Amino acid sequence: MSGHATPADARRAASLLLLRDGADGLEVLMLRRAEREGDHRGGAAVFPGGVLDARDREAHGLCDGADDAGTSARLGLRQGGLDYVVAALRETFEEVGLLLANGSFDLAALQPWRNRLQDGSAGIAEFCAAAGLRLDAAALVYHSHWLTPPGMAKRFDTRFFAAHAPAGQEAQADGGEAQALMWLAPRAALDPALGLKLLPVTQRTLQDLARSATAEAALAEARARRDIPLIMPRAATSSRGRRTVMPDELPYAEIARLDPEGRGDVSCELRPGAPVRLSPTILRLTAPNPGPMTGPGTNSYLVGAPGAWTVIDPGPLSESHLQALLAAGAGGITRILVTHTHRDHSPGAAALAQVTGAPVLGRIARHPQWQEEGFAPTIELQGGERLPLPGGAHLRVIHTPGHASNHLCYLLEEERTLFTGDHVMQGSTVVINPPDGEMAAYLAALRGLLELDLEWLAPGHGFLVGAPQAAVRALIAHRLRREAKVLEQLHAASPLAIEALLPLVYDDVPPARHAMAERSLLAHLLKLEAEGAVYRDGERWVSAGG
């Protein structure tokens, strides 16, 4: 039991997804909110729901099929969970006139109670007692938990439930909060051609529902959910203006770190040449080299303080990026570090050293393929060195071969931040390209990171990554799943040439990326060959397991 506490600036609320099966499958009831000046939710298409009433608790004893203790445990609360169920049922009756209740009742005769509940002249317990009915709490399935982003004028801590629409009842808009009602297939509601104004929470909920073909399938999916997380979007800026960023989007963790109060002034885009202060001692600049292999561009980091900056990965040879680094490091760049010598990371080092006189530190690769020609560090690092920074801080050098034989990561010990180069990328896996790339070394180096005390990863491509241990474990698991797929395909159809094996193992990867995937597939095969799990028969590969 988590004992979740609603923030002081948020109101507790509940919403109900009423589901039915229409002619083309699952449909959900939506209402169009009234337009109100200054309300960004005005005119939006939403689900029935609203804020909790203090009197909702009085109806606990009038609920069938649920009690407060069990509901609170399901919602991760110490108490008061049943308040949300009562509120969802009450708000649904108020706004759309549908009543999920047990007992004999004439729905048309109960309609005047809707106004009394809405204007607060009656509470839900009084209504149930007068009508001789009990609320059907058992009909509701807990679906999701959303919290409005910080910084918004109005915030809501909302629990979403789902239920079959009550048979034999016809929804009627109240004409106040609900201006119009719509039974819609989730995909139709999401179609821009319909022109609905959808809030981020509504859009994501519709996307969830769209995966189910029937109402019962959607409810079964909700019942199967175990630990339902709190979803709190965040506001950010973009080239198109202010936008909402979801927790599963790449910029989210960085935005949460840089803007916990919700000012909304942190960019959710990596903009070449624009310095981003990640901490008092870390600046990031992204090079103007976006592409399929580099994502939004290569990140260069300045670590330290004015007059004594250390640059990590000066990036490609680019005059504009060089000038951006010099401007950001005004006052003095005293050291240049390179994670590895692929051409999107190290060529800028020589030009930056020539202007600043700073020494270049890194390693030389064992194999020349894909490497910067002529890379000659002033000092060759081995791994294990601790490099001093202003203020008594240190960068620890960690040798992490795999993507490249000379790959290094740098740990800012005092901030528990690891500059990962391409060893850990954000949003994608890295190519392991033999002979310089080696899968066994890559996995071993990843496992080595699990031994470190880390709070943040600063990758060579992408935003800051939170939860480093989870990110590293996910990479290891991904590689092991791919390896298992190699063994499975070879066991089923040995021998296979690598060209035939490739589309079977990487059937989840677009064909346009198969050329690069083939390099990682070869790395997997070489690892398995060294372990005795596969062997070569000429140009073809065979499972040693029969």
pLDDT digits (tens, 9 = 90+) for 32-83: 988 766 566 778 999 999 999 999 999 999 999 999 999 999 999 999 999 9
3-class DSSP assignment, residue 218: helix
The pLDDT value recorded for residue 36 is: 67
Whole-angstrom distance, CA of residue 442 vs CA of residue 451 = 15
State the Cα–Cα distance between residues 253 and 234, nearest whole angstrom: 10
| Overall fold of domain 476-543 | Arc Repressor Mutant, subunit A (1.10.10)
CB 311 within 8 A of CB 276: no
400-411 pLDDT, tens digit each: 999 999 999 999
Q: For 134-174, what is each residue's pLDDT tens digit? A: 999 999 999 999 999 999 989 999 999 999 999 999 999 88
Q: Does the domain made of 10-232 have the CATH classification 3.90.79.10?
A: yes
Tell me whether residue 322 is exposed, middle or buried, using C-beta atoms within 10 angstroms of its C-beta: 0 to 12, 13 to 18, 19 or more: buried
The CATH number of the domain covering residues in 270-466? 3.60.15.10
Residue 465 DSSP symbol: B
Q: How far apart are CA 389 and CA 397, in angstroms?
A: 13
User: Quick check: 191 pLDDT over 50?
Assistant: yes
Query: What is the SS3 string spanning 168-205?
Result: CCCCCCCCCCEEEEEEECHHHHHCHHHCCCCCHHHHHH
Q: What are phi and psi of 8, to 5 degrees?
A: -60, -30
State pLDDT tens for residues 287-298: 999 988 888 999
Q: Percent of the chain at pLDDT above 70?
A: 99
**Structure confidence by residue, pLDDT tens digits, 205-220:** 999 999 999 999 999 9
**Rounded to 5, what percent of the chain is helix, strand, coil?**
35, 25, 40
Q: Where are the beta strands (DSSP E) in 371-518?
A: 379-380, 386-388, 394-399, 408-412, 417-421, 456-459, 496-497
Rounded mean pLDDT of 290-307?
A: 93
Is residue 420 over pLDDT 50? yes
Is the pLDDT confidence value at 416 over 50? yes
Q: Give the residue extent of every domain in the chain.
A: 10-232, 233-268, 270-466, 476-543
β-pairing, 141-147 vs 230-231, is parallel
If you write DSSP's letter for every residue of 40-61 in order, what string do you get?
A: TTTT-EE-SEEE--GGGGGGGG
Find out whether the peptide bond into 495 is cis, omega within 30 degrees of 0. Answer: yes
Q: What is the mean pLDDT of residues 436-462?
A: 97
Handedness of CA 389, 394, 395, 399 (dihedral sign): positive
Distance CA 413, CA 453 (A): 9
Q: Is the pLDDT of residue 114 over 90?
A: yes
Neighbours of 119 (CB within 10 A): 10
Given this model, what pLDDT does residue 397 score?
A: 98
pLDDT at 283: 98
pLDDT of res. 517: 94
pLDDT-derived band at 94 (thresholds 50, 70, 90) equals very high
